[in-house]
Amino acid sequence: MEFTAQAIAEFLNGEVVGDPEIKVNNVAKIEEAESGTLAFLANPKYTKYLYTTNASIVLINKDYELEQDVSATLIKVDNAYECFAKLLELAEQSKPVKQGVSSLAFIEKSAKIGDGVYIAPFVYIGENVVIEDNVSLNPHVFVDDDVTIKKHTTLNAGVKVYHECIIGENCIIHAGAVIGSDGFGFAPDENNVYRKIPQLGNVVIEDNVEVGSNTTIDRATMGSTYIRKGAKLDNLNQIGHNVQIGENTVIAAQSGVAGSTKVGKNCQFGGQSGIAPHIQIADGVKVTPQAGIPNTIKEENSIVMGTPAFNIRDFQRSFIVYKQLPDLFKRVKELENELKRLQSE
């Protein structure tokens, strides 16, 4: 499909600078764009490409001041990155939607299947499962007994959902994710032999959540592990039993949250961060990549860094000293030798 700059600007409430009738049929990175594509500029490090890009249309922020002439038609908007995301979402929605139940899927008779669903070949749906309207289950999805999957949710290839778990509306679960596997619960007996503690709870994923590929979310020992609405989990995350992830919190890849920890809303966790069990993270906390959090963080909207993690400004000041340790050690040894020499005279 082709769209004119004017049509795009009207959709985004933007302002056209250049040819309003120029058309695009694809999107591209600003540094790689060709004629007929639309790009965007949001990160200042890519500013130089605005003046050399071959894109036909570029989205830029309204407050951006041009340093020289630009060959592309510009659409000025309040937030170029957000508007580009809206266009990608529109393009995604325009793709044809698969519907229907494959004869190669296996569905238990007690399962309830809504309207407009897509159930691909080699999907298994267990006893008393509820699949609501417009759910999409791709090949090799396994849905265990008594699971509920609500409207407009997509489970991609190979997702496994264990018994009694609940997945909300408009969720996306990516390939290979496992929802509701047993929590890591073992108790040593008098012979230090570890006995498994039955995990009797479930996982509740609320609306508008996205779970990345090969991420695992453990079921609760008792009660529920909660992923609150709007949360986004990247690939290869591990969420322990009885954890609560707050609304609109994002966790980047290879991060782990240990059991019974409660993470507030609107938090951000960098990749490979680790959170200890039985602690609480306040709302709005930002955690830098590879940080380790051993204790509760009570200060809302704080930024922490390091292992063990603490306030980022304090960490940065400490790191300046840390880098100087070899020189400081050398100076201390020189002073010790000088002191010994003076004492021996």
Q: How many CB atoms lie within 10 A of CB 130?
A: 17
Provide the Cα torsion 326, 330, 333, 335; round to 10°: -130
Strands (E), 248-291: 250-251, 256-257, 262-263, 268-269, 274-275, 280-281, 286-287
* Cβ–Cβ < 8 Å for 109, 93: no
Which of 282, 67, 68, 47 is CA-nearest to residue 58? Answer: 47
* Cβ–Cβ < 8 Å for 244, 226: yes
* Cβ–Cβ < 8 Å for 133, 118: no
Which of 281, 257, 323, 250 is CA-nearest to residue 315? Answer: 323
* DSSP-assigned letter for residue 126: -
**Which is catalytic among the residues 140, 163, 174, 241?**
241
154-193 burial: b if 16+ Cβ within 10 Å, else e = bbbbbbbbbbbbbbbbbbbbbbbbbbbbebbbeeeeeeee
The number of CA neighbours under 13 Å toward the Cβ of 24 is 28
| 152 in active site | no
Point out which residues pair with 166 in neighbouring strands.
148, 204
In angstroms, the CA 61 to CA 45 distance is 14
Q: Which residues are catalytic?
A: 241
